[in-house]
Amino acid sequence: MTKVTFASHPYLLGFENLDRLVERTVKTGNEGYPPYNIEQRDEATYRVTLAVAGFAEEDLTITVESNQLVIRGRQKDDEGERIFLHRGIAGRQFQRSFVLADGVDVTGAHLENGLLHVELKRVEPESIVQTIKINGKSS
C-alpha cells in the first residue's frame, strides 16, 4: 500500500523534504518542560521564549542543525553540596527542538529574568526569473 502525503500531489515537484520535515517535527520528543512561547513580532521576525529558571548562561546551548533550532539545558550536579527538604523547582536537563523554514535565521539570544529569548528573522529570497533555452532533441 502506498503512503499518500501532501507532497505526493503531481503539481508539487521536489517537496519530498516537507514530508520528512513534518515527520521529524512529530518525532522531536518535546515534552512539556520547559514551557515556552512563540511570538510573531512583525511580518518577518519571531521570538521563541523558554522559561529556564535556575539555569545559567553556561548551562544552556543553542544550535541550528539541518534547519532545526535545538535548545539544550543541563545544570551542573551539586547534589553533594545541598540537602533538600523539598525540591519543587525542576532542574532536569532538557532539549527543545523547533523546525525552521528555509530562510529563517537565528539573529540572537539573551537570558533575562529566568527567560531565554531566541530571536529569529525571515529573510525573503530574491525573485529570479530564468529563461530556459530549448536545444532540440535530447539523446
pLDDT: which is higher, 77 or 40: 40
Residues 82 and 101 both lie in one domain: yes
pLDDT: which is higher, 79 or 70: 70
Kindly state whether residue 23 falls inside one of the protein's structural domains.
Answer: yes
pLDDT for position 66: 85
pLDDT for position 87: 81
Residues 4 and 35 both lie in one domain: no
pLDDT confidence bin for 92, thresholds 50/70/90: confident
pLDDT for position 137: 63
Structure-block grid coordinates of residue 123: 529573510
**Termini Cα distance of the chain:** 35
pLDDT for position 34: 92
Structure-block grid coordinates of residue 31: 515534552
Kindly state whether residue 127 falls inside one of the protein's structural domains.
Answer: no
Cβ(99)–Cβ(67) below 8 Å: yes
**Long-range contacts made by residues 72-75, C-beta under 8 angstroms, separation at least 24?**
72/96, 73/34
Cβ(59)–Cβ(114) below 8 Å: no
pLDDT for position 25: 60
